[in-house]
A and B are shown apart, each in its own frame.
Chain A
Amino acid sequence: MAFQHFRDSMNQSAVIAEPAVALNTLAQSSETPALSCRGAEILIRGLIANGVDTIFGLPGGAVLHIYDELWRYRNDITHYLVRHEQGAVHAAEGYARATGKVGVALVTSGPGATNAVTGIATAYMDSIPLVVITGQVPTGLIGTDAFQEVDTFGITLPVVKHSYLVRKAEDLEDIINEAFFIASSGKPGPVVIDIPKDVTAQITEYRGGTDGFAEYHEYHSEPDRPVVEAVVRKILAAKQPVFYVGGGVVSSGASDELISLVEKLNIPVTPTLMGLGGFPSAHTNSLGMLGMHGTYASNLAVAESDLLIAVGVRFDDRVTGKLNTFAPNAEVIHIDIDASNMGKLRKPQIPVVSDAATALAAINTSLESESLDTERLATWWQKIREWQAAVPLGCSGSEDEIDPQCLIETLHEVTEGDAVIVTDVGQHQMWAAQFYPFKRSRQCLTSGGLGTMGFGLPAAMGARIALPDQMVVAVVGDGGFQMTNQEIITAIQYNVPLKVVIMNNGYLGMVRQWQEMFYDRTYSEVDLSVSPDFVKLAEAYGAKGLRATKPSELRSVLKEGLEYDGVAIMDIVVKKEENVFPIVPAGGESRNMILK
């Protein structure tokens, strides 16, 4: 790899925390400032140089040198020993989603890498910045079907933003620096660094710093002036405009710009699942989520709109339903950092390839001189308020069984709306999206694109580690919980006060709902009534286990679990056959919602 390096490595490396051995080396080598270290140490120093203080991983043969070095740097980097590599990547994702920083996972070759693939794909689909380091068999054994050999580069190819197979230790430093740049710049995403064992043993120079790689891409994130003016003209001319906002608003930190723009224009806003929190759910202009389980008002507003201002979204099928009936009369302004999203599914009248925050700021600036008539959209708002009044979201509040929706509402009350909610995937995820009003970006962490069951618990652990002063609650189903609950012990080991609320309906609930609605109630292989006793399971792990089966117990169980100083698993037994409404049948027209 041909990289140019121009640096004063003496100054750069002085910034890094030096362990005793390295300090000696530095002192002795006043003429040649670069340090000599083995590949493993270069990796660890590279991580530290890129601001990493937390990694999630599980050792194995191919990463022994790395773990040996990691032990020497244990005061600089805290390693969380997960119990399954999928947990490592989800925890790193949770860490990244909660903070916007790059999450780091470290796994061994072969099965270590294949176990990590689900997490990598989850991060790829949701554009989450990760660096995943995988061990590999020594370079001389690559391609020989060696023990624990798998083509990690090949297996992960379709689900990474970029990847490396490191061939010699001299390349390692530049690769690490570039990996962090690629993972976090432009549209974020996961980067895999596959490192053969012998490379981690090779001795070479370490220079220090975080540059030294060639930038292949420049991100032109400033929209051109005439484009911004065209956008403003369209927005001001629209009679029935809607903001449709997604994960790009969250990842670019565009929330404040969005709120100020929306308030200036008084236009309704509907977020996607990934956009929840990017615009406050309780804001008077928010119509709630749109799409398959969107609100009646959101889906109708989009269907009737004459202008869709799509920000940081990609027209996912769970949002649009049948594509050619989605916002059929609307012109589209599409603001997204990824040029390949322009026209992928819906051709915009004005494509704006830009970072969402930068574009919204430019539009805000351009609107400063305009005096807007606040009543200009009065008729449009009147229609919307009627739809909102006609079909509000609500829960029935039964006497003897806990309604799943009431569980989320009660959780909202008990946490005073401030908790970071990490969901798994399924019915509980949709109810959390519908019934927990999110105040801010990065308050709702969820696997939107890949829909990975098992994401919730380890991701919540990672998020809580990143946010030591905040309440983080995993809301999971009884199905997804059992996919990754081994990480409870990781939380116990490191005193991470993980809070897990299991919405337990004894079913793979979302599949059961589809079987009820679209397959004549043929409940094929969805019954989870044979499950472990989750309270005893929690206790076996050394966590607090609590259970609520009646509405009267709900609040006190949640309070007790959340206030407990440690890991608490709350098994909330809810109504078995409750359905998520509204629902737009897959591939259906989004205005044709089934409401109950």
Chain B
Amino acid sequence: MRHTISILLANEAGELSRIVGLFSARGYNIETLSVGKTQDPKWSKATIVTDGDDATVEQIVKQCSRLARVKDVRLVTTQPHIEREMALIDVSVSAGAERQEVMNLVKIFRAKVVDISHDKMVLEASGTRDKVDTFIEMLKPLAVNEVTRSGSVAINRLSSLESFRSDTKAEAVAA
């Protein structure tokens, strides 16, 4: 199953390799990875999408939590969350009907044209993974020259944050 893990780690050299190392040491593939500074430049947020059964992912979360420079690890997929990807797509488009068709797709998917020449366009699409997938699929009958996709970034829905934290404790007491 696909899981999205959100990790708050120190913005220091080598810290990301520790996390990536936890995955490779156990033979788990990272599907997407995106990292950036948070509002406090001492900390970075990494969003990792991985494929694995629940037990595997639980282990990854716990092992990441153990690292000295990791402040918080969340399995965002267990809670209501917002997840977005972005893609930059280079397509060959001739002027006229073909360009019109692309413009329609851009409108439907709320994408953007970010560069244009006589016979090409660069499009920017963002949204859920499915949406970006579908957009690229729809463009395929035209000549898609290059696709560059970002990793996912995710954040929990405002309503879910409180309940998330108390979960593990409740489980222990119930047992």
Given contacts A1-B12, A216-B10, A339 and B21 within 8 Å (CB-CB): no
Residues of B within 8 A of A217 (CB): 68
- Asked if B59 CB lies within 8 Å of chain A CBs, one says yes
Q: What's the Cα separation between A154 and B172 when bound, in Å? A: 37
- Asked if A237 CB lies within 8 Å of chain B CBs, one says no
B172 in complex: contacting residue of A1, A165, A351, CB < 8 Å: A351
Residues of B within 8 A of A350 (CB): 172, 175
Given contacts A217-B68, A342-B62, A2 and B42 within 8 Å (CB-CB): yes
Report A206-234 residues with CB < 8 Å from chain B CB: 216-217, 224, 226-227, 230
A161 in complex: contacting residue of B55, B68, B172, CB < 8 Å: B68
- Asked if A182 CB lies within 8 Å of chain B CBs, one says yes
Chain A's interface: helix, strand, loop or mixed, by majority? mixed
A158 touches B25 (CB 8 A): yes
A227 in complex: contacting residue of B12, B14, B25, B172, CB < 8 Å: B172
- Asked if A343 CB lies within 8 Å of chain B CBs, one says yes
Residues of A within 8 A of B67 (CB): 162
B173 touches A226 (CB 8 A): yes
- Least distance between A447 CB and chain B CB atoms (Å): 20
- Asked if B169 CB lies within 8 Å of chain A CBs, one says yes
Q: What's the Cα separation between A157 and B70 when bound, in Å? A: 15
- Asked if A338 CB lies within 8 Å of chain B CBs, one says yes
Q: What's the Cα separation between A177 and B67 when bound, in Å? A: 17
Query: 1/0 contact trace for B50-86 toward A, CB 8 Å?
Result: 0000010011001101111111000000000000000
A157 touches B12 (CB 8 A): no
A227 touches B68 (CB 8 A): no
Residues of A within 8 A of B175 (CB): 230, 349-351
**Which of B10, B13, B62 lies at the interface centre, i.e. has the most chain A CB atoms within 10 A of its CB?**
B62
A339 in complex: contacting residue of B12, B55, B62, CB < 8 Å: B62
A165 touches B59 (CB 8 A): no
Report A335-389 residues with CB < 8 Å from chain B CB: 338-340, 342-344, 349-352
Residues of A within 8 A of B58 (CB): 343
Considering only CB atoms, which chain A residue lies closest to B17 in the complex? A157
Considering only CB atoms, which chain B residue lies closest to A160 in the complex? B18
Considering only CB atoms, which chain A residue lies closest to B173 in the complex? A226
Residues of B within 8 A of A153 (CB): 14
Q: What's the Cα separation between A314 and B96 when bound, in Å? A: 67
Report B15-60 residues with CB < 8 Å from chain A CB: 17-18, 21, 25, 42, 55, 58-59
Residues of A within 8 A of B25 (CB): 158
A343 touches B55 (CB 8 A): yes
- Least distance between B53 CB and chain A CB atoms (Å): 13
Report A270-323 residues with CB < 8 Å from chain B CB: none
Residues of B within 8 A of A2 (CB): 42
A224 touches B172 (CB 8 A): yes
Considering only CB atoms, which chain A residue lies closest to B42 in the complex? A2
Considering only CB atoms, which chain A residue lies closest to B174 in the complex? A230
Considering only CB atoms, which chain B residue lies closest to A351 in the complex? B172
Residues of B within 8 A of A351 (CB): 172, 175
Residues of B within 8 A of A157 (CB): 14, 17-18, 21
Considering only CB atoms, which chain B residue lies closest to A344 in the complex? B59
Residues of B within 8 A of A163 (CB): 14
Q: What's the Cα separation between A226 and B10 when bound, in Å? A: 34
Report A137-177 residues with CB < 8 Å from chain B CB: 153-154, 157-158, 161-163, 165, 167
A340 in complex: contacting residue of B13, B18, B42, B66, CB < 8 Å: B66
Q: What's the Cα separation between A430 and B18 when bound, in Å? A: 35
A216 in complex: contacting residue of B13, B62, B71, CB < 8 Å: B71
Residues of B within 8 A of A158 (CB): 21, 25
Q: What's the Cα separation between A217 and B8 when bound, in Å? A: 13
A182 touches B173 (CB 8 A): no
Residues of B within 8 A of A224 (CB): 169, 172-173
Report A512-553 residues with CB < 8 Å from chain B CB: none
Q: What's the Cα separation between A230 and B172 when bound, in Å? A: 9
B65 in complex: contacting residue of A165, A227, A340, CB < 8 Å: A340
B62 in complex: contacting residue of A154, A340, A349, A352, CB < 8 Å: A340
Considering only CB atoms, which chain A residue lies closest to B68 in the complex? A162
**Which of B17, B55, B172 lies at the interface centre, i.e. has the most chain A CB atoms within 10 A of its CB?**
B172
- Least distance between B143 CB and chain A CB atoms (Å): 41
Given contacts A216-B68, A230-B173, A340-B62, A165 and B13 within 8 Å (CB-CB): yes
Residues of A within 8 A of B71 (CB): 216
A165 touches B14 (CB 8 A): yes
B68 touches A340 (CB 8 A): no
Residues of A within 8 A of B65 (CB): 339-340
B59 in complex: contacting residue of A161, A340, A349, CB < 8 Å: A340
Given contacts A224-B173, A227-B173, A350-B172, A216 and B69 within 8 Å (CB-CB): yes
**Which of A182, A217, A343 lies at the interface centre, i.e. has the most chain B CB atoms within 10 A of its CB?**
A217
A182 touches B68 (CB 8 A): yes
Residues of B within 8 A of A162 (CB): 67-69
Q: What's the Cα separation between A2 and B175 when bound, in Å? A: 42
Q: What's the Cα separation between A187 and B62 when bound, in Å? A: 14
Q: What's the Cα separation between A350 and B55 when bound, in Å? A: 17
- Least distance between B21 CB and chain A CB atoms (Å): 5
Report B97-113 residues with CB < 8 Å from chain A CB: none
B66 in complex: contacting residue of A154, A338, A349, A352, CB < 8 Å: A338
- Least distance between B58 CB and chain A CB atoms (Å): 7
Considering only CB atoms, which chain A residue lies closest to B22 in the complex? A158
B59 touches A339 (CB 8 A): no
Report B120-175 residues with CB < 8 Å from chain A CB: 169, 172-173, 175
- Least distance between B122 CB and chain A CB atoms (Å): 35
- Least distance between A131 CB and chain B CB atoms (Å): 13
Q: What's the Cα separation between A340 and B62 when bound, in Å? A: 5
Considering only CB atoms, which chain A residue lies closest to B65 in the complex? A339
- Least distance between A79 CB and chain B CB atoms (Å): 28
Q: What's the Cα separation between A165 and B17 when bound, in Å? A: 13
Residues of A within 8 A of B17 (CB): 154, 157
The contact sample of 10 A-B pairs, CB cut-off 8 A, is A157-B14, A157-B17, A158-B25, A161-B68, A162-B69, A165-B13, A230-B172, A230-B173, A340-B63, A350-B172
Please report B residues at the A interface, Cβ cutoff 8 Å: 10, 12-14, 17-18, 21, 25, 42, 55, 58-59, 62-63, 65-71, 169, 172-173, 175
Known: A216-B69, A227-B172, A349-B175; 7 extra A-B contacts, CB below 8 A, are: A2-B42, A157-B17, A167-B13, A230-B173, A339-B65, A339-B66, A340-B66
Closest 6 CB pairs of A and B: A340-B62, A162-B68, A226-B173, A350-B175, A340-B63, A349-B175
